[in-house]
Structure 1
């Protein structure tokens, strides 16, 4: 019997994904000039041949002054239809889609999480955020010192700042459409700027962009509305959203915001989770309090399965992608059979095996072999005195970025050692 993972998925905009397996966004750390490089394209050439249903790019920052890492691709200036710029990004889109796989560009602004050394604003210039809430790694002296060393204190965005950043998101989306990408995904998770506006912990504003959940969602809703005005009707507009930031007290606020995003006409929602302060998207911390997961969920692969199922229960028509923790055909099929999601996002296994979908979809391969188990990445010994969460998450991200570099060079990749 054919796997349900092989089923095509049609998005509301009309874009058809040939199967349910999506290469999720990962940090490639390959754009030293913050433009798409040949090495970056070489990596995507490998994924383009992998049989994916869709390919999501790593972060494309909308402002070169505010980067998540020094080697992110980014917009360098206002987009005015420059043909040379379109040609540069068209190479990226064409490489991703050379073998018919739709490519979706992930657009991002890191907000307060932009490292001092990332971006062209200078190492002492303040970051942007909805409110002046700094990144915290803990209450200890060392944790506070590390945070102050990594990030400057954010300044609260003015109305002019908000309007400029919205325009940058729209400009970047228009460039991606002109370059030939099949769609964009707004990065509203992992503690980046859109997530900072949505979250009551980081958004303390009292104007029209803060307060109740509806007002905290206004920033991203305006971005979506303005993007829709400048891209083709069949251009996909999705969003990645955090599931791990909410508590029981704010759960309904999160669901209210998801309903608003669905009503805004997004084509899909990717469920992920975590921030730099608490990198659950990288599997850190290594264990969660027992109360946060049922035994049944703990036995499954997906990190955020229960949250996704609750979204599906409330909004059955919303196309959901679930990302984080999938390593086996059986685990991915279970999520589809349980109606937890429509699309399976796969990150770290894709950095090891660019053709992982071909293994999962090959009916001649038994379930016990249709998998790619991965160990935790061990942080370097000299970091043992630093905050564990950020060290662990950083070690994971760096290890898999290195594997992507090996993919690009045609060198054999390897899994983390025990």
Structure 2
């Protein structure tokens, strides 16, 4: 056998698997690569979508992913995570999202809207929320930024459930392919699900069944509005790791807790169609997005958060200090662990194995730094998941699907470094890859100029020409 033939066959097998269609109950996607939820502050302050977001979503569809999961799309102004994110809080938002779907579908790419509510994890909620405590399952502020919160009344819970349901209805009317509930990474649904956060004494707190009640009511309300033939999936933590910053905090949900929640959300075959597995009860979290964190970058852009929470000034001082900044970076890496690519695969495999015994039609997505064909095909092949979701590697290489189809080789020099500079820049700058070493040029200035051209490319073409 000629040298290299084994490797060629393996690559062809990997590519065949990665680029095979994935069939959900009510949706078929052309390959196993999903663009995960990410976005910059590209829209109007009042939550109306803009031309830049159209350009942003279209470039990933053009790059070859099978399906795009939208950025965190608030179902209400009160649940906004950051300003200038397009919302789905009113019927007048439907025409914009219809255009998003039209642009993306033109490349044979699906589009799933991620319905979200920030709860107490509201980085910059805008002037509308300036003097209001964030809605949550608890009145305890979040332990990272110190965002003030109030425990929702039952009436407020019912109101938010209805906001999710109407958001799903609008997504369907816009011609999108489905919706995802953001039940992971510290947002409102997590705040109800997590035993490390939810301290309620009523029917929405205590046992895992009670903590899952809010999410189940949302699922049922969505099904009431969109029927059983519209795709509905849930993003959920495999494990919360709620004690990542302070070891004396409650750990939060275990894998067994999550399994119980997933079983509940199946709702006897009338609930969710798919689970999207992540981890980490805050955002950011060492496990989400897994990688590095730069104190220098944090101090450069974290200033926008200073008015948001009671701990933000303390955090800023920690990041800026020449001793505590590097110490925080070291601690971040320790709490993350050594694995980055496929960090949640073990959780996904356990949950998929158990859930598909009950309902073989349920599909599983897994997020966690995927960017190499061998690793992507590996987790699909070993039963960890049915597809992977990617964010930062696609920011680094919008054409990553074509790279994966041809071979891993071309990515070696320009792969995502997991530096998370894209994350910290999003608080003040256009979202993009800010790792200078990835760009061509003989000098730092030339590389930086090429970086800026890449980051700003999403603004072309402009609305008016």
TM-score bucket of the superposed structures, by smaller chain: 0.7 to 0.9
Match of 2:165 in 1: 170
Decide whether aligned partners of structure 1 residues 320 and 400 sit closer, same or farther in structure 2, where only a CA change above 3 A counts: farther
* C-alpha distance in 1 between matches for 2:370 and 2:238: 16
8 Å contact kept, 2:396–2:415: no
8 Å contact kept, 1:68–1:114: yes
Match of 1:197 in 2: 192
- Which of the numbers 51, 59, 68 marks the counterpart of 1:38? 51
8 Å contact kept, 2:277–2:348: yes
Instruction: Say which structure, 1 or 2, has more relative contact order (CA 8 Å, 6+ apart).
Output: 1
Matched residue of 1:202: which SS? Answer: coil
- Aligned 1:134-173 pairs, distance under 5 A: 134-137=141-144, 147-148=145-146, 151=147, 153-173=148-168
Decide whether aligned partners of structure 1 residues 400 and 87 sit closer, same or farther in structure 2, where only a CA change above 3 A counts: closer
Say whether 1:377 aligns with 2:404.
no
Unaligned runs of 5+ in 2: 1-11, 242-250, 292-330, 434-453
- For residues 362-395 of structure 1, give each alpha carbon's deviation from its aligned partner in whole angstroms, at most 9, with x where no partner exists: 3xx3x3335652224377xxxxxxxxxxxx9635
8 Å contact kept, 2:81–2:125: yes
* C-alpha distance in 1 between matches for 2:389 and 2:31: 12
Say whether 1:18 aligns with 2:45.
no
Match of 2:399 in 1: 355
Decide whether aligned partners of structure 1 residues 276 and 86 sit closer, same or farther in structure 2, where only a CA change above 3 A counts: closer
* C-alpha distance in 2 between matches for 1:178 and 1:303: 36
* C-alpha distance in 1 between matches for 2:380 and 2:252: 26
* C-alpha distance in 1 between matches for 2:253 and 2:390: 30
* C-alpha distance in 1 between matches for 2:401 and 2:349: 24
8 Å contact kept, 2:78–2:134: no
Q: 1:279 Cα deviation (Å)?
A: 4.4
Match of 1:108 in 2: 116
* C-alpha distance in 1 between matches for 2:60 and 2:237: 26
Decide whether aligned partners of structure 1 residues 125 and 57 sit closer, same or farther in structure 2, where only a CA change above 3 A counts: same
Q: 1:89 Cα deviation (Å)?
A: 2.2
Say whether 1:256 aligns with 2:291.
no
- Aligned 1:11-410 pairs, distance under 5 A: 11-12=24-25, 14-33=26-45, 34-77=47-90, 79=91, 85-115=93-123, 117-137=124-144, 147-148=145-146, 151=147, 153-246=148-241, 247=251, 250-263=254-267, 264-274=270-280, 275-276=282-283, 278-283=285-290, 286-288=332-334, 298=338, 301-316=341-356, 317=360, 318-362=362-406, 365=407, 367-369=408-410, 373-377=415-419, 394-395=424-425, 401-403=431-433, 405-409=455-459
8 Å contact kept, 2:184–2:235: yes
* C-alpha distance in 1 between matches for 2:87 and 2:340: 36
- For residues 171-213 of structure 1, give each alpha carbon's deviation from its aligned partner in whole angstroms, at most 9, with x where no partner exists: 1110010001000000001100001100012111121111100
Q: 1:276 Cα deviation (Å)?
A: 2.6
- For residues 241-272 of structure 1, give each alpha carbon's deviation from its aligned partner in whole angstroms, at most 9, with x where no partner exists: 11241559833222211221234531111111
Matched residue of 1:59: which SS? Answer: strand
Q: 1:85 Cα deviation (Å)?
A: 3.8
Q: 1:343 Cα deviation (Å)?
A: 0.7
Q: TM-score, normalised by structure 1?
A: 0.82
* C-alpha distance in 1 between matches for 2:257 and 2:411: 39
Matched residue of 1:401: which SS? Answer: coil
* C-alpha distance in 2 between matches for 1:361 and 1:377: 25
Decide whether aligned partners of structure 1 residues 250 and 69 sit closer, same or farther in structure 2, where only a CA change above 3 A counts: same
Q: Which runs of 4+ in 1 moved over 4 A?
A: 246-249, 395-400
Answer with 1 or 2: which has the greater Rg: 2
Decide whether aligned partners of structure 1 residues 32 and 306 sit closer, same or farther in structure 2, where only a CA change above 3 A counts: same
